[in-house]
Amino acid sequence: MLDDSDEIHPLFHGAPQTTEFKKLRKRIVRQTREAVEQYGMIERDAKWLVCLSGGKDSYTLLAVLHELKWRGLLPVELLACNLDQGQPGFPATVLPEFLEKMGVPNRIEFQDTYSIVMDKVPAGRTYCALCSRLRRGNLYRIAREEGCTAVVLGHHRDDILETFFMNLFHGSRLATMPPKLVNEEGDLFLYRPLAHVAEEDCDKFARAMNYPIIPCDLCGSQDGLQRQQVKQLLDGWEKNAPGRRQKMFKALTNTRPSHLLDPKLFDFAGLTLNPKQDDEDGIPDLR
């Protein structure tokens, strides 16, 4: 599919011509397309607000979605959006210049949520929860203003796994980031098309493409975060048993409510026996 034509979206110009990179690119595109189709992300007259933070994951998301659209495999309108949250030292010109150079329709929005986070979060506490809520609220507002039907995020397979274990260890529940959901107001979808893509592949892809990566200096500067601890745990498992992450992710798509313990998902109290029928002579079959 990807090598049938010399035409290529500008986001892929300069891509390495190595066999290894071509396999990587094909794998990411295939997995993204599978997630889009499997979770029913394409709705009629769709317009997606594609969130671009400047990290490796969001660059990968942007490139792959535009590649799929370029080839007629994603019939939706795409609008890239970066929310500048006012963090000191944020290189505000990097993303606008990159998007302009690549010919990607975009909206750059400035909202100083950084000051709010720093004011509201006590010293020593993590910023992620409040920062995420403020960011999400602004993205929903922008999506409505732009007439978008969905907000699209760059969370990948490893984000989903880490969230599952954070909920397991700290929230006492079996839950994670779903690939598709509806917001509380019921007027917007939230999609994660990279749900099947490994973080390692996003990292290799963005670095090979030499995209101008912008690190997060807010939450990324804090030590001892629960997510970092879970990531280290998963790294250890993967090192000892390569492929463990993919097996665990596969398990999230293969749940059996009858073999868990939640009576809200399975009617344990309503289970009944189904004894063998008596023989025609009225004598029970004791075999």
Output the tens digit of pLDDT for each of the chain's 287 residues.
445 445 677 888 889 999 999 999 999 999 999 999 999 999 888 999 999 999 999 999 999 999 999 989 999 999 999 998 888 888 889 999 999 999 999 999 998 888 888 877 777 677 777 788 888 889 999 999 999 999 999 999 999 999 999 999 999 999 999 999 999 999 999 999 999 999 999 999 999 999 999 986 555 444 457 888 999 999 999 999 999 999 999 999 999 999 999 999 999 999 999 877 655 555 555 54
Q: What's the token pair of residue 180?
A: 């598709």
Q: Is residue 273 part of a domain?
A: no
- Output the pLDDT for position 95: 95
**Structural domain of 168:** 10-259
Q: What's the token pair of residue 175?
A: 């839950």
- Output the pLDDT for position 157: 97
Q: How far apart are CA 172 and CA 151, in angstroms?
A: 28
Q: Is residue 147 part of a domain?
A: yes
Using alpha carbons only, give the angle 172, 175, 179 rounded to the nearest 5 degrees.
Answer: 165
Rg of the chain on CA atoms, in Å = 23
Q: Is residue 141 part of a domain?
A: yes
Instruction: Tell which residue, 7, 56, 54, has the closest CA to residue 205.
Output: 56
Q: Is residue 207 part of a domain?
A: yes
Q: How far apart are CA 57 and CA 195, in angstroms?
A: 11
The total of structural domains in the chain comes to 1
- Output the pLDDT for position 221: 47
Largest CA distance in the chain: 88
Pair type for strands 106-110 and 189-191? unpaired
Q: Is residue 272 part of a domain?
A: no
Please, is 239 exposed, middle or buried when counting C-beta atoms within 10 Å of its C-beta (0-12, 13-18, 19+)?
Answer: exposed
Q: How far apart are CA 276 and CA 26, in angstroms?
A: 54
CB atoms < 10 A from the CB of 65, how many? Answer: 26
What are the tens digits of pLDDT across the range 101-160? 999 999 999 988 888 888 777 776 777 777 888 888 899 999 999 999 999 999 999 999
pTM above 0.75, yes or no: yes
Q: Is residue 196 part of a domain?
A: yes
Please, is 213 exposed, middle or buried when counting C-beta atoms within 10 Å of its C-beta (0-12, 13-18, 19+)?
Answer: middle
Q: What is the CATH number of the domain that holds 95?
A: 3.40.50.620
Instruction: Tell which residue, 46, 13, 41, 65, has the closest CA to residue 182.
Output: 41
Q: Is residue 266 part of a domain?
A: no
Distance from the Cα of residue 57 to its chain's centroid? 9
Q: Is residue 154 part of a domain?
A: yes
